[in-house]
Chains A and B, each alone.
Chain A
């Protein structure tokens, strides 16, 4: 059973489409990274999943639920941290987590102390929230999110405001949670290096569209080497069509006129044969390894910052 399934989901604000034709599914026990620029629609997607907003079209199904009512109830199986931490002001860290414990219907009082201990907040638990630093608030919000061992964790840029050791600490806690409880994590970030090596699956989003999704091994393979072909200007269009039709890989025409075949380094003869059959001239061939960021830049068009 899928933990989450989105089918053709779209969201419009007025005439502006923020998300369009979003379809994907999440399997249990994996860590999914949602990668995209600021304003690409990551937070809106999370908000739709958590019922803070409603899709203009399409459907979302949580834990196999079919109706809106069942989806509402299923949200108690999710721990969510969307945008900035949501905390009850003027009360202590302990009271914050305790309120969430009551809301989630967790009878075990020790769960609050355990959650605070997990994020090193045990010594500051009686301190009012206004005295917490940004990083402490973020950790407290994560403690609230993990309370009650949710089956799915929805984390929108959760490492914001944390120092490097805090980031490492959170990553370790999340990895332990996946390992011990089998929790599925859906995490977003625009800081790509944070997710590299952490996630098991990647979903790339740009301007409200999913532009690619792959496993971490597939991504590593694709980032390993790319083939850059220099083709005479008059034959570039035809070459692009042939390669797109023949190969099961992403093919893009770059701004400098080169054709880039992502992740295709296994057998250059296939490219050569395909183009030779159509009598297309290849001026030069070069292969270069790229980073996750470069791969993402090239996927979304190559000329925007991330």
Chain B
């Protein structure tokens, strides 16, 4: 498995498309970050905070960190591209066959592919938060206290698991269709349907069955758990939901790939 991981790592470095997407992400992130946060004052008052959905007054650095961590729009689209590019293309080009020829079991190939996908997709999805924090939160980061540091770690950890759960949507079509077009079309449909569903949910009143059912759905959970005063119970529920989704996705991928006829 280590051999496969090493080769996949080398391939990621050699993958020109990945570097192009990375470049585009850097440019778009800096541009988007300037548009969103440049005009904010250093200290946001409660009133100002209200305007930007902050529950309490806070510094611009912390606010940018909070907003960045709560924004999942990039991740959803990235996962579609990454799923098609990193997994679907491997099936289309039949380069995955080399891993089988080298005497690896399908389960170990699946594990390596999942790791490869998550590492690359998380690396790309980290560009936007890093760009934002680099431009507007450096002062706040340089003066972090112990409690702030724990808060940052918690946010990054939770966000990583939630991102993995969101990205997993693109994995199932990749292993089910085993080509670029099928993966791309299917994961696009899933993302569009989910975003529409979330818009609908936002308009539904509290206590409604559908809202309770998907309250901790990754993209929705992000907004719930990034605040400092979020209860441990809420965080635990959100993580359990995301973890379960990741696990279900892995099992689905395994079932699709286990006995699949490759090209």
Contact = CB atoms under 8 A, between A and B. Distances in A.
A is bound by B: yes
Interface of A: 47, 50-54, 69, 72-80, 82, 86-91, 95, 99-100, 102-105
A53 B261 contact: yes
Given A52-B100, A72-B105, A86-B98, A99 B3 contact: no
Contacts, number: 69
Given A88-B14, A90-B16, A51 B7 contact: no
Interface of B: 3-4, 6-7, 10-11, 14-17, 93-95, 97-105, 259, 261-263
Contacts of A76: 101-103
A100 B98 contact: yes
Given A50-B100, A90-B16, A99 B261 contact: no
A102 B14 contact: no
B14 A91 contact: yes
A103 B7 contact: yes
A4 to B, nearest CB: 15
Contacts of B15: 90
A79 B97 CA distance: 12
Which of B4, B16, B102, B103 gathers most chain A CB within 10 Å? B103
Contacts of B11: 88, 99
B32 to A, nearest CB: 29
B98 A73 contact: no
A113 B19 CA distance: 28
Contacts of A89: 93
21 contacts: A47-B262, A50-B97, A52-B97, A52-B100, A52-B262, A54-B261, A69-B105, A73-B103, A75-B101, A76-B102, A86-B94, A86-B95, A89-B93, A95-B14, A99-B11, A100-B102, A102-B6, A102-B7, A103-B99, A103-B102, A105-B102
B3 A53 contact: no
Contact of B101 (A69, A78, A105): A78
A99 B102 contact: no
B3 A88 contact: no
Given A52-B100, A75-B102, A76-B103, A103 B3 contact: yes
A69 to B, nearest CB: 7
Contacts of B17: 90
A186 B104 CA distance: 22
A90 B10 CA distance: 13
Contacts of A74: 103
Contact of B98 (A47, A78, A103): A103
Given A74-B103, A99-B11, 13 more contacts: A51-B100, A72-B104, A72-B105, A75-B100, A75-B103, A76-B102, A82-B97, A86-B95, A86-B98, A88-B95, A90-B16, A103-B4, A103-B102
Contacts of B14: 88, 90-91, 95
Nearest to B16: A90
A87 B261 CA distance: 20
A87 B10 CA distance: 15
Contacts of A75: 100-103
A103 B103 CA distance: 9
Contacts of B3: 102-103, 105
A34 to B, nearest CB: 18
Contacts of B99: 103
Contacts of A82: 97
A132 to B, nearest CB: 15
Contacts of B102: 75-76, 100, 103-105
B105 A86 contact: no
B254 to A, nearest CB: 15
A74 B7 CA distance: 20
A294 to B, nearest CB: 35
